[in-house]
Structure formats: structure tokens, C-alpha cells
Amino acid sequence: MDEGLIPSPLIRDDEVFLRMNFAERLQHILLIVTFTTLILTGLPLVLYEMKIFKALFAFEKAFYIRGIVHRVAAVLMIANILWHIAYTIFTPRGRSNFRELMPGWKDAKDAFQVFWHNIGLTGFLYKRGLFKAFFEKHPYWLFKNEPEFGRYNFIEKFEYIGVAWGSLVMIASGFFMWNVELSLRLFPLWVHDIFIIIHGYEAILAFLTIIIWHMYNVHLNPEVFPMSKVWLNGKITGHELRTLHPLEYKKIAAERAARAAARK
């Protein structure tokens, strides 16, 4: 990993910052629990052809209980989301997080830059003396450095928006699946069929995204392996802030500098 910015004298590397407060951690844990429950009780219906799921419903009332558990988890997840929305609207920290999470043009550029920085193709070409004139004129295309991230990088922003979008789709389609009679008073059967398709496929998308993308970024990534502990203790060190979230680091340093100047 790059050593990143030159350390600011105002922030010690071993200084501890709060990245996720208790409420945010609890929201995240609730999301994990409800999401996992929903996946476990829902996926067998999507992948009904797989024999292993048959074993899950070994006893007579098992499938009936599955339905109850799935709905209870759904209600809990919705309650959690409502809490999160209220938290985002009514607390200064929530509002600040939300502003930081809004994606911009920079995030698309960051993703592009990270990818080519990782691949290092242009640097390799340059070293071999190919397109030398072009790269000297436009050094951006060498992707020599990683982009600098703010409090949330493009991965985290993408995941946040993904959860928001996924929840919206799942709640809407799930609501009509729960209330079949209502759904079919409002829509023809073929529209209701689409709700079922959407609910199933969106679940697969969410499941794969969590399993592949989120699990890599917070668990398997050699940077954090075996696990980033932020979700448990909410803490991030000055050093981590400086290397992983340099823009946030700079912002804090600037704030402290301004405060120090004001005191004088």
C-alpha cells in the first residue's frame, strides 16, 4: 500500500477516530441479521430445483414457519431502514454522512483510475518506451497514483446506494407478494408475476453482491484480512485515515489548523 500523504503534525498516526458510532453499528448489525435471515428463508424458493433445500424443510410445519420467519425479518429490516432514515434526517452526523455518501463524477473517475492503476498497463508501456510522447504530454494516463478518497470511497458509496435501491425494490415487490389479494385487485396476474420475478432476481443480485463484492472488500482483501473491525468497534486510526481516506484526513487537519489559528 502506498504510504499516502505526508503526515500532518496535527494528527497522530495512532490517534483513534470514530468512523461508525453505536447507532450506525447497530443499524449495520441489524441489517446483517435481517438480510441473512431473509436470504436463508427466501433463496430456497428461487432455487427450488436444488435438492439440498429440500432437507431444510424436513418437518411438516417447516415451510409454514419459513414464511413467518421471512415476514418477521422483513418487518424488522423495514423498521431498521425507517430508523436509519430518521437518523439521517434528524441528526447532524447522519446528515453529514449522507452528504458524504452522495456519488459524484469524481467517483466514476476514481473507479476508472483505480482499475487502470491496478492493471498498470500504461506504466508498463511507458517503461518499454511505447507512446512515450503521449504519456509525457498527458501523465494522467499513466495512472501513477491511486486517487484520493474522502470519508467514503466509490466502493462504499456504490454499496450504500445498492442497499437503498435493493431495499426499495424488495419492499415494494415483497409487499405485493405478501398481499396477493390486494395486488391482484390492483394489477393483472401477469404484473404480479413480474413482482415475483423481480423479488427473486433482485435477491440473487443482492446475495451475490454481498458474497462477492462486500465480502472481498471487508474480509478477504489482503489489506484487511481476515476482517476489518470497523463494524464492531467503529474505530479508525489516524494512519488508516491518512492512507485510506486522505481527503477526510486533510479536511480534519485543515479544521484543526483553523481552530488553532482562531485560538491564537
Partner 1 sequence: MNVRALSRSALLAVVLGLGAASAGLASSNDDCLTCHGDKDLKSGAGASMFVDAEKFAASIHGQAEIACVDCHADLAKVKDFPHAEKLKPVDCSACHDQEAAQLRASVHLQPHRAENPIVVTCADCHGTHDIRKKDDSESSVFSINIPDTCNKCHLERVKIRNGSGFVQQYLQSAHFKALRKAGLSMSANCVTCHGGHDVKAARDPQSRVSRKSIIETCGRCHVGIKKDYLEGVHGKDYLKGIKDVPVCTDCHSEHGILSPTDPGSVVYATRVADVCSRCHDDERLGRQYGFLTSRLKTYAASYHGTASKFGETRVANCASCHGFHDIRTSSDPKSPIYAANLAATCGKCHPGAGVNFAKGKIHVVSAKTESQGSHVAKLIYIVIIGGLISVFLLFIASDLFYRIRTRWTKA
Q: Would you tell me which residues interact with partner 1 (CB under 8 A)?
A: 44-45, 48-49, 53-54, 56-57, 60, 62-64, 66, 111, 114-115, 117-120, 180-181, 184-194, 196-198, 201-202, 204-205, 208-209, 212-213, 216, 221-222
Considering the complex, state which of residue 5 and residue 45 has its C-beta at the smaller distance from partner 1. Answer: 45
Contact by Cβ (8 Å): 236, 230? yes
Considering the complex, state which of residue 3 and residue 14 has its C-beta at the smaller distance from partner 1. Answer: 3
Min CB(212)–partner 1 separation in Å: 5
Round to whole Å and give the CA distance between 182 and 65. Answer: 23
Dihedral over Cα of 66, 69, 71, 73: its sign: negative
Min CB(192)–partner 1 separation in Å: 7
Q: What SS3 state is found at 155? A: helix
Question: In 3D, which of 96, 189, 83, 100 has the Cα closest to residue 149?
Answer: 100
Min CB(158)–partner 1 separation in Å: 10
Round to whole Å and give the CA distance between 69 and 40. Answer: 10
Considering the complex, state which of residue 184 and residue 258 has its C-beta at the smaller distance from partner 1. Answer: 184
Considering the complex, state which of residue 189 and residue 261 has its C-beta at the smaller distance from partner 1. Answer: 189
Rounded alpha-carbon distances, angstroms, from residue 25 to 21, 71, 244: 6, 23, 20
Half-sphere exposure of 233 (CA within 13 A, CB side): 8
Round to whole Å and give the CA distance between 257 and 228. Answer: 30
Min CB(151)–partner 1 separation in Å: 21
Considering the complex, state which of residue 67 and residue 139 has its C-beta at the smaller distance from partner 1. Answer: 67
Min CB(210)–partner 1 separation in Å: 11
Largest CA distance in the chain: 76
Considering the complex, state which of residue 53 and residue 98 has its C-beta at the smaller distance from partner 1. Answer: 53
Contact by Cβ (8 Å): 146, 116? no
Min CB(113)–partner 1 separation in Å: 12
Q: What SS3 state is found at 91? A: coil
Considering the complex, state which of residue 56 and residue 86 has its C-beta at the smaller distance from partner 1. Answer: 56
Report the amino acid identity of residue 27.
Q
Round to whole Å and give the CA distance between 12 and 31. Answer: 33
Min CB(41)–partner 1 separation in Å: 11
Using only C-alpha atoms, the chain has a radius of gyration, in whole angstroms, of 23
